[in-house]
Structure 1
Amino acid sequence: MPAYGNILLRENENGAFTTARRAPLGFADGRDEAWLRDLLVGNPDLLPIEEIDASFAPLVSLCTELQTEAGPVDAAFISSSGRLTLVECKLWRNPEARRKVIAQILDYARAVSQWSYADLQRRVAAATGRKGNVPFEAVRELQPDLDEAAFVDATARALREGRFLLLIAGDGIREGISGMTELITRNAALGFSFGLVEVALYEFGEQGLLVQPRVVARTDTIERTFVQVGGEGGRLEEVTADAEGETESGSLSDERAWWEPLTRITFDDPEQEPPSYRVRNHVRVPLPYPGVWLTAFRYMADGICGVFLAGKKSEMAQVLDRLNEEREEILGELPNGTDYRYGDDPTHPGFASYARLADFASDDACREWLGQELNCFVNAFRPRLKAMAR
């Protein structure tokens, strides 16, 4: 990402330049997250929506602290086409804060996608203290000829389809941007767009404050696909990238419930993202090398469970060759040692750890062991793969 220098202001044609010094956001000077939120809501044109997704422009401020089932959204905006923009304002302090705000805004999007237009109208009215069709009235101030019925229908459709723009605005968000956008992409189940906006402040002494928002990352719109189950008139079920071609019903729902506690674990490494559930009884942990990850699984037919380093065939041979140069050192960092990957070709020794399901007194004990193994594997492989990726 590019760095930016100071800004110079020439007061007149023959005058000297005044240097504007960068003034980072921070709690000490009163420019905290609430200050940033109110600044954006009061000046929606500050957000560079055209650079992220023009279909959400122009922005009309709806409210602050929009209450959802997942918590309050810092700021909510809407367009004349009925598309919502949800904004979280954050001052970055550590990698944990980055992951938490991404998980947070995704939870907001999932919650709002369950709303009807009446739900939106009621929540905005509660947040603003105004009565009536507040979203429509807010947009009509910008577009007086707006048709109310058409606007309500368009907004209801956008809610149903999850057509949101999710923005995280703050400072210090340049570090780890690629990992943040990858996390958004992997966890997406709605048709939303996403952007990271750095809000740069410059002080001109007594002359005032300059605010310069910059788009530092954005994703393409992430589509969701539906299939019809049960023939004509049957229900619609969502299919995401995790489904790998299967719809989730019956035993697959039971599988997801079994793995759910593991998707909430935290690792020693503060930058490591949590596991994500995959069908066919396993979870996957992303690693900082393209096409390589960790898998934790249960194989009921053979009565085993385990953790192993996995990836695309096109990547794994080269990765394993380089890792095996440090094999003895790596084995020393894995308390339970390791085996070749289950069923793998021993010409490229892999890294895996296995246990018998019968050895665990309960499902909780099995999940605890898998979580401990995943943590050890992350500690051993993440820094090595990160260095290899450079």
Structure 2
Amino acid sequence: MPTYGNILLRQDENGAFTTARRAPLGFTDGRNEAWLRDLLADNPDLLPIEEVDPSFAPLLPLCTELQTEAGPVDAAFISPTGRLTLVECKLWRNPEARRKVIAQILDYARAVSQWSYADLQRQVATATKREGNVPFEVARELQPDLDEAAFVDATARSLREGRFLLLIAGDGIREGITGMAELITRNAALGLSFGLVEVALYQFGERGLVVQPRVVARTETIERTFVNVREGGTSRLHEVVDDAGSEVEAVSVTEDRAWWEPITRINFDDPEQEAPSYRPRNHVRVSLPYPGVWLTAFRSMGEGVCGVFFTGAKSEARQVLDRLNEEREQILAELPEGADNRRSSGQPGFAIYAQFSDFASDDECREWLAQQLNQFVNALRPRLKAMGH
């Protein structure tokens, strides 16, 4: 966990400094949770969004006290791409408050994920006492040429998928931070991004107040993977994102699960390999015998592309790829032809893709995906198992 020194203010040209006095929230000048909520809502740039998850930036204040079935969200923000950030403000005065706050903000997220865009528009209008399409109007203030239909569709997808950034902001977030961070990381599978932000206050006597936000914990962003799709002599990068930030197709979870169900029942050559598990939406995951890495089979209806790639949590995947790339030529010889790509970082990875138009039917596409998964398992699983011992 990061630590910080004192803040100094230079008083005059002679080099004299004044040391700021730490001004805890909740003790003086009415600086309570409501004060912190309004401070962040009025000054969204205080929240270090780029350090937590830049895909939710920039933060545009939507409203405070957004009413949900689980209770009121302290502050809600939206981005021009329709992504919601929910902020809960807490003073860290007792262990019970620390334990409850994560469950509380998760309940808010689950409640909001049940909303349609019309529900969001209605609740924001109620909170702000404004009429009309308030979320869109807020976003259009930053981007005057923003298309309303596209914004509404993007926001509706984010709501449907529960793709939210949840921030817990407070003062003196120190004791118990390890346990809170672990709880946050375990809940990352919900498709949510989390961050803990300490808002430190320093008083310079009569000269004013300094506000210093600090990110003290966050979920680790899963590295994005790109495959190079070649068509008609041209090429383009197609992004494949596992779990965090994936583009959602216009198909229900039920329909999507039914499409992938035959693949979740395939038998691998390796008798120890577990079957693939469905991950809403548009992909399945195959566990591997090394922590933090896995195989993903995906399909993107919008791009007309499907494929298989090796990925994982950012730090683990990079470490494992460094070791696997020492045997790169041998591994590629064991993988299906064409199983070669470079990730967004330029680092060589292992992936293969195909166009939907290459297949005569969905069954043929699924059979191809199953074959690729089997070969990837055969090539990578023994090596990863050896790494884990």
Kept in 2: contact 1:192–1:221 (CA 8 A): no
Residue 14 (structure 2) pairs with residue 14 (structure 1): yes
Within 2, Cα distance between the matches of 1:176 and 1:199? 17
**C-alpha spacing 1:148/1:228, structure 2 compared with 1 (3 Å):** closer
Give 1:173's aligned residue: 173
Give 1:53's aligned residue: 53
Equivalent residues, number:
239
Residue 102 (structure 2) pairs with residue 81 (structure 1): no
Q: What secondary structure is seen at the aligned counterpart in 2 of 1:114?
A: coil
- What do residues 205-251 of structure 1 show as CA deviations (whole Å, max 9, x unaligned)? 111000000000001258389675884599xxxxxxxxx9789xxxx
Shift of 1:45: 0.4
Structure 1 residue runs of 5 or longer lacking an equivalent are: 235-243, 248-390
Residue 138 (structure 2) pairs with residue 148 (structure 1): no
Give 2:119's aligned residue: 119
**C-alpha spacing 1:27/1:122, structure 2 compared with 1 (3 Å):** farther
Supply the AA of the counterpart residue of 1:157.
R
Within 1, Cα distance between the matches of 2:208 and 2:2? 25
Shift of 1:56: 0.5
Kept in 1: contact 2:188–2:219 (CA 8 A): no
The worse-fitting range, judged by mean Cα deviation, of 125-134 and 5-14 is 5-14
Give 2:157's aligned residue: 157
Residue 201 (structure 2) pairs with residue 201 (structure 1): yes
Give 2:307's aligned residue: none
Within 1, Cα distance between the matches of 2:123 and 2:182? 31
Shift of 1:189: 5.0
Within 2, Cα distance between the matches of 1:53 and 1:180? 18
**C-alpha spacing 1:60/1:171, structure 2 compared with 1 (3 Å):** same
Q: What secondary structure is seen at the aligned counterpart in 2 of 1:179?
A: helix
Supply the AA of the counterpart residue of 2:94.
N
- 1:364-379 aligned at under 5 Å gives the runs none
- 1:1-390 aligned at under 5 Å gives the runs 1-221=1-221, 223=243, 231=258
- What do residues 15-66 of structure 1 show as CA deviations (whole Å, max 9, x unaligned)? 5212211111114431000000000000000000000000011100000000
Identical amino acids, percent of aligned pairs? 82
- What do residues 283-327 of structure 1 show as CA deviations (whole Å, max 9, x unaligned)? xxxxxxxxxxxxxxxxxxxxxxxxxxxxxxxxxxxxxxxxxxxxx
Supply the AA of the counterpart residue of 1:30.
G
Structure 2 residue runs of 5 or longer lacking an equivalent are: 223-242, 247-252, 262-274, 279-389
Kept in 2: contact 1:23–1:202 (CA 8 A): yes
- RMSD of aligned alpha carbons: 2.5
**C-alpha spacing 1:187/1:51, structure 2 compared with 1 (3 Å):** closer
Shift of 1:12: 3.7
**C-alpha spacing 1:190/1:20, structure 2 compared with 1 (3 Å):** same
- What do residues 254-277 of structure 1 show as CA deviations (whole Å, max 9, x unaligned)? xxxxxxxxxxxxxxxxxxxxxxxx
**C-alpha spacing 1:127/1:12, structure 2 compared with 1 (3 Å):** same
Within 2, Cα distance between the matches of 1:233 and 1:199? 45
**C-alpha spacing 1:246/1:17, structure 2 compared with 1 (3 Å):** closer
Q: What secondary structure is seen at the aligned counterpart in 1 of 2:127?
A: helix
Kept in 1: contact 2:197–2:214 (CA 8 A): yes
